[in-house]
Amino acid sequence: MPTSPLATDLSSTTHGRRLSGGVARAGLLLLATGALALTALLSLRVGSVAVSSRDVLGALFAYAPESYEQTVVRALRLPRTIVGAGVGAALALAGAGMQAATRNPLAEPALLGVNSGAAFAIVTAVYLGHLAHPLQHIWFGFLGGLGSAALVYAIGSAGPGGATPVKLALAGMVVSALLGSWTTALLLLDQQALEVVRFWLVGSLAGRDLGVFRAVSPFLLAGIGGMLLLGRHLTVLSLGEEAARSLGMHTGRVRALVVGLVALMTGAAVAAAGPIGFVGLAVPHMVRGLVGPDYRWVLPLCLVTGPLVLLGADILGRVLARPGELPVGIVTALLGAPFLIALARRRRGVEP
């Protein structure tokens, strides 16, 4: 089987504009953190109910339950913002981990079949049990995502070569297609399930409360923390199989660990917000373009930039379609696609 040209490096276009040196990178990290704080505040302010900055601060630090505006902030927008931040961070870090572990700049967490596994589990649960409470969806989604990721990894790593990127991608595509076809069959048989699931399937933060965050946060935090510790390993792994081995790394074990963390984080993120595309693909790209391929810097920046992008998209969705809102999964596609196209067009063609 020919090696995949997907594995050519895309970030080569941004040579010469990369920041080098610890001070510049730390400055960038600080800048992004500031921007994230502002975006989070904006996410508390913007929406169909107009809320002043004073009410936002009041709701955060001196909550007065009798104020309608403060209640909106506290009960609706704060949980939504927290869930969005957690999901954004998880998706961006999971994307960075996947791209390094598979040496495929187009890898994204969905490659492991997590999305289709979660969708299949949720639809099956709705079909069989007519679940009422959204928190139940979360557990089915989470377990379904983990299950399909495990299946993809087991199939993709069978045989002497281990989990090569192409085998992993093929297994992921086939398992996704398989689960997707079962999901479609159930949706065709059960209109009720379609009604419940179609809003989940576009990926949205609307109506996510703190119960949702509490349910997924242990997995999100464990995944995020674990991935942040692996910066050095990811840098070595992204040098390629042979280089990493000759540096003394047990690549199979590290790759399995990375994939496990990715499945954990993505499963939790998908369960909480539905399948949201492009954050896991575009954010690591953007970050690598800025600070270069050293994952000790890429990962912390992803941790900050992921939530920044996801919350920004969510705010935009609320502004663009007032008084309703565009689901954040649609906004990330609307924003991410032109970005990807521009990136692709800037790339100089490489003679094969």
Stretch that binds other proteins, among 5-13, 88-96, 228-236, 238-246 (CB under 8 A): 5-13
Other CB atoms within a 10 A radius of the CB of residue 323 amount to: 8
With beta carbons less than 8 A apart as the criterion, state whether 11 and 105 touch: yes
Please give the distance of CA 298 from its chain centroid, rounded to a whole number: 15
> Which of 194/319 has CB closer to other proteins?
194
We find the least distance from the C-beta atom of residue 339 to other proteins, in angstroms, to be 8
Closest by CA to 237, choosing from 107, 145, 91, is: 107
Looking at residue 296, its amino acid is: R
Q: Which three-class secondary structure state does DSSP give residue 280?
A: helix
Q: Does residue 278 interact with other proteins by CB under 8 A?
A: yes
Look at the block and give the residue holding tokens 């464990």: 222
Look at the block and give the residue holding tokens 């003679």: 351
Closest by CA to 275, choosing from 330, 219, 351, is: 330
Closest by CA to 107, choosing from 234, 13, 211, 244, is: 234
Count interface residues toward other proteins (CB under 8 A).
60
With beta carbons less than 8 A apart as the criterion, state whether 164 and 104 touch: no
Among 95, 277, 306, 307, binds other proteins (CB under 8 A): 277
Q: Does residue 63 interact with other proteins by CB under 8 A?
A: no
Give CA–CA dist 266/308, Å, rounded: 18
Q: Does residue 171 interact with other proteins by CB under 8 A?
A: yes
Among 119, 175, 270, 309, binds other proteins (CB under 8 A): 175
> Which of 131/174 has CB closer to other proteins?
174
We find the least distance from the C-beta atom of residue 136 to other proteins, in angstroms, to be 21
Q: Does residue 101 interact with other proteins by CB under 8 A?
A: no
> Which of 18/347 has CB closer to other proteins?
347
Q: Tell me which residues touch other proteins (CB under 8 A).
A: 1-2, 4-6, 8, 10, 106, 155, 158-161, 166-167, 169-171, 173-175, 177-178, 180-182, 184-185, 187-189, 191, 194-195, 198-199, 201-202, 277-278, 326-327, 329-330, 333-334, 336-341, 343-345, 347, 349-352
